[in-house]
Amino acid sequence: MLHLRLITPSEKTDEVVRLIEGTVGTTHLVVMTGAARDPAGDVVMCDVAREAGDELIGALRALDLDETGSIAVENIDLSLSKRADRAEKDAPGEGADAVLWEHLTDATHEESTLSVTYVAFLTIATMLAACGVVLDNAVLIVGAMAVGPEFGPLAGISTSIVQRHPRLALRSLIALLVGFAVAMAATVVFSLFMDALDLFSQEQLAAERPNTAFVYAPDAFSVVVAVLAGIAGTLSLTSAKSGALVGVAISVTTVPAAANAAVALSYGDTAQTIGSTNQLLLNLLSIVAAGTLTLLFQKWLWSKPRP
């Protein structure tokens, strides 16, 4: 269930209440006349089944309530109410399958913002992965994958394509390109520093690395894994079951490939630099394509009549 808290201009309150009452899957309607001060108006609250939430939010936005008042949406972790149970039962479809497009756009907008924190996490993840590839340590590679925040901009690009949101696309692309450029440049410097301390060496990079050689050798499995991860990551963002996102983060070699390219570049190893860069670009494109197709399928599926 979702909880909606609305601030409505007094002249629109009756229309908003009728809209809520006419939406299947709503309950616990509360109207507080004149309770709002900034902006001035009435406060209307209700609970709505997740599967009916997107339709209701869209209708409220059609009334320009986001411009003249306020629409706040919260997830309800626990609701002990027979009315809530009946509302969920009456709403068509399953809550776990419902996509809240406004929430998705807002979430990906936040996750794809180029910020100091975003660049710091990506840089640290790339440096950590650099240690992993030089030492051929799979544990460090997995740790670096988990730290990397790059799935946010990738999901932002997919969302912007489906929602036709060019600003989100530009914001996500800038975060992705600038973030990786800064992270890889910093990792080149980090690699040279570690080499000066005799902690990294070109011999380690060129040696047999059975645990991490895959980061600079793209093949068909690279595409398969990236596509599957893109689908799983997108589903985790759009559904109520978001626990799978961590698993996605540690399944795709974006950060490790960037790290290997940076280390190889610092030693002038052209073959590994090109191979790692190809691996990185292949994975990024595959994730975006898979995420976009997943969102398009969900949009098409949810547009069909539901029992």
pLDDT along the chain (307 residues), means of 10: 93 93 92 92 93 86 91 87 87 67 75 89 95 92 87 89 89 94 97 94 90 87 88 78 52 85 94 93 93 89 62
Quick one: pLDDT at residue 248?
A: 54
Distance separating alpha carbons of residues 90 and 86, to the nearest angstrom: 6
Quick one: pLDDT at residue 292?
A: 94
Closest CA relative to residue 81, chosen from 142, 136, 1, 166 = 1
44 Cβ neighbours under 8 A, 6+ residues apart: 4, 5, 6, 7, 8, 13, 16, 17, 20, 29, 30, 31, 32
The pair of three-digit structure tokens given for residue 83, joined into one six-digit string = 């009315």
Quick one: pLDDT at residue 245?
A: 53
Quick one: pLDDT at residue 303?
A: 67
Are 26 and 48 in contact by the 8 Å Cβ rule? The answer is yes
The pair of three-digit structure tokens given for residue 214, joined into one six-digit string = 């895959």
Quick one: pLDDT at residue 244?
A: 47
The pair of three-digit structure tokens given for residue 166, joined into one six-digit string = 């060019």
Q: Look up residue 24 and give its DSSP letter.
A: T
Q: Is the dihedral of CA 231, 236, 240, 244 positive or negative?
A: positive
Distance separating alpha carbons of residues 279 and 106, to the nearest angstrom: 30
CATH class of 2-95: alpha beta
222 Cβ neighbours under 8 A, 6+ residues apart: 214, 253, 279, 282, 283, 286
Task: Write down the pTM of the prediction.
Answer: 0.80
